[in-house]
Amino acid sequence: MTHTIETPRERLDRLRAEVADRKQAASAELPVRPADTFHALKTGVTISVGNGFMSTAHITKAGENIIVTQNMIDASRDTFGNSWMSLLGDDAAQIERWGEVRFRLGRAPEGTPTWGAVGDSDWREQREDARKAAWAEADPERRAAALQTVHERFGPAPLTSTIISSTPDPSIAAAEAQQEALAKGGVRHVSHYVAQEPGVKR
């Protein structure tokens, strides 16, 4: 049996080739390629779009269309060559990993929510803009239809007031009890004070 002794240079070249082969195999398993599009369903998810010390990140907005780049694919890999982008197009796998569906393949369909969650600042701002536009309709029928569309898309209007606490204030109860006790007991003490002029004794 013949044993081949590798030089350090040969070993380095072999390892680099193995890494490249693994990356190529992993890329073949991804559901996207550079120039493909997917869209975000959640606001605030951070995506690395480049490698290296000066790499940058992108924070998603719900309803946003994202174009895949090779740098994005490379940055999505962990030390084992696995990529989170392999989850694109697999809702069940995303729920298993993240507890929610964050992305879907292709461009965002018409009507995809462009806010993070009902009640957040984006939702409130967009609902208010849509409501104002609906009320600006001069024709009553079109105005009513536009307002109905706002309700169907955004849901009911947000609450304008919040009850902080319904617990009675103990100081109020104590003051009421004291007033009641005084009313039952009558006047306990009366004092009269009359201003006294200098030099006049009373």
Q: Which of 83-97, 129-143, 166-180, 186-200 has the highest mean pLDDT?
A: 83-97
What is the C-alpha separation between 110 and 63, in angstroms, rounded? 9
For the stretch 71-117, pLDDT in tens is: 999 999 888 888 999 999 999 999 999 999 999 999 999 888 888 77
Against a cut of 0.85, is the pTM above it? no
What is the C-alpha separation between 188 and 168, in angstroms, rounded? 30
Q: Which residue has the higher pLDDT, 42 or 122?
A: 42
